[in-house]
Amino acid sequence: MSAQTNRRIVLAARPTGRPKPGDFRLETTAVPEPGEGELLLQILYLSLDPYMRGRMNAGRSYAKPVEIDAVMEGGTVARVVRSRNPDFAEGEIVLSHSGWQSLALSDGTGLRRLDPGAAPLTTALGVMGMPGFTAYAGLLTIGRPQPGETVVVAAASGAVGSAVGQIARIKGARAVGIAGGEDKCRFVREELGFDAVVDHRAPDFPERLKAACPDGIDVYFENVGGQVWDAVFPLLNDFARIPVCGLIAQYNAIDDSRPDRLPAVMREVLSRSLTIRGFIQREFVDQRPAFYRDMAGWIAAGKVRYREDIVDGLENAPEALIGLLEGRNFGKLIIRVSA
């Protein structure tokens, strides 16, 4: 390893609404030296995901916020370049949670070895990683799709949504995707094999969604919220299940001045016996062995396909995350930090 310095991106300020480049700061620091039992990791790939926007805010959530001047957090694929830990050898490739930096120390806790010959390394951050597992566990545990039912998923061309629809079809359900723009809709329909796809940017989006779901909606995998939820909600069948994974349309909101519709929603939850459950993928950690086995088999059999959007350079991570929150990425968004 020839690097003499570590590059890292820290949270410089808490955003108000849409994050700005000035909310981040690129720093150069000395290369950290591993102590006894520690490893020095060289970050190869960094995953960018919508949940990161929430971690930039102060306040109570399911995880601690990133502190001001602290390294932005995120999942990574890394190479062990120096080891003082007997359980890991130099040169091994691992899945870690090292954040937005080029080098990181680890004591080995939570690392998972990756086999570069088994699958592209980037898939450990996407279809074979947290996003794929989120789709798998949320859909199968909460959504419970049955043969012949209609499953709808928003952000259908993204890392989670694309897996949700394909798993639904594997289970015999009808998959309807919601995506933004002609190119993404074509990909969802032609490459991923969804039964139908609807462009949420269309002026008559609610009518198009209703036409694509003539028998109503039995499972809605919620990634977005906002106007998409408004169009989905009237179409939910009795006993519909709604796994709530994300609300990307609302992450940058400063003030939601829309009328309070909670009483009306709760009335329908009661009268239609709806199940709405938020979840974090780590709640289902016991399902990971089954996920790795099933997803690897589905990919090998051509039943699950995936797309990755790889951006070169750690310095481009802030603008890439801003674009992700606006739907500018196409597929699982990954930063290539080093070769």
Please check the confidence at residue 253 and state whether its pLDDT lies above 90. Answer: no
Please check the confidence at residue 1 and state whether its pLDDT lies above 50. Answer: no
Question: Between the ranges 57-61, 250-254, 272-276, where is the mean pLDDT highest?
Answer: 272-276
Looking at the fold, whether 114 and 140 belong to one and the same domain comes out as no
Looking at the fold, whether 10 and 119 belong to one and the same domain comes out as yes
What is the structure's pLDDT at 247? 76
For residue 319, give the CATH number of its domain.
3.90.180.10
Looking at the fold, whether 150 and 242 belong to one and the same domain comes out as yes
Q: What is the mean pLDDT of residues 323-335?
A: 93
What is the structure's pLDDT at 292? 96
Say how many CA atoms lie within 13 Å of 69 toward its Cβ: 0
What is the structure's pLDDT at 64? 85
Residues 6+ apart with CB under 8 A from 89: 80, 83
Looking at the fold, whether 163 and 65 belong to one and the same domain comes out as no
CA distances from 326 to 3, 161, 205 (A): 34, 16, 18
**The model's pTM:** 0.90
Are 188 and 210 in contact by the 8 Å Cβ rule? The answer is no
Tally of domains within the chain = 2
Are 220 and 246 in contact by the 8 Å Cβ rule? The answer is no
Looking at the fold, whether 140 and 197 belong to one and the same domain comes out as yes
Looking at the fold, whether 274 and 139 belong to one and the same domain comes out as yes
Looking at the fold, whether 268 and 143 belong to one and the same domain comes out as yes
Q: What is the dihedral of CA 11, 13, 19, 21, to 10 degrees?
A: -70
For residue 255, give the CATH number of its domain.
3.40.50.720
Six token digits for residue 289 = 């062995």
Q: What is the mean pLDDT of residues 263-285?
A: 92
Percentage above 90 pLDDT, the chain: 85
Span of 50-59, 161-170, 189-198 with lowest mean pLDDT? 50-59
Looking at the fold, whether 201 and 240 belong to one and the same domain comes out as yes
Indicate the average pLDDT of the chain: 93
Band of pLDDT at residue 255, cut at 50, 70 and 90: low
Looking at the fold, whether 122 and 134 belong to one and the same domain comes out as no
What is the structure's pLDDT at 260? 75
Six token digits for residue 127 = 């279809």
Q: What is the mean pLDDT of residues 94-110?
A: 97
Looking at the fold, whether 319 and 267 belong to one and the same domain comes out as no
Looking at the fold, whether 187 and 270 belong to one and the same domain comes out as yes
Domain enclosing residue 114, as ranges: 5-126+307-336
For 111-132, how does the pLDDT look when each residue is reduced to its tens digit (9 = 90+)? Answer: 999 999 999 999 999 999 999 9
Q: State the amino acid at position 196 in one-letter form.
A: A
* Closest-CA residue to 210 (of 244, 237, 192): 237
What is the structure's pLDDT at 252? 52
For 17-59, how does the pLDDT look when each residue is reduced to its tens digit (9 = 90+)? Answer: 889 999 999 999 999 999 999 999 999 999 999 899 989 988 7
DSSP 272-295: TT-EEEE--GGGGGGGHHHHHHHH
Q: What is the mean pLDDT of residues 103-116?
A: 96
CA distances from 48 to 11, 76, 79, 265, 293 (A): 15, 9, 19, 32, 25
Look up residue 233 and give its DSSP letter.
G
Q: What is the mean pLDDT of residues 53-68?
A: 85
Looking at the fold, whether 261 and 239 belong to one and the same domain comes out as yes
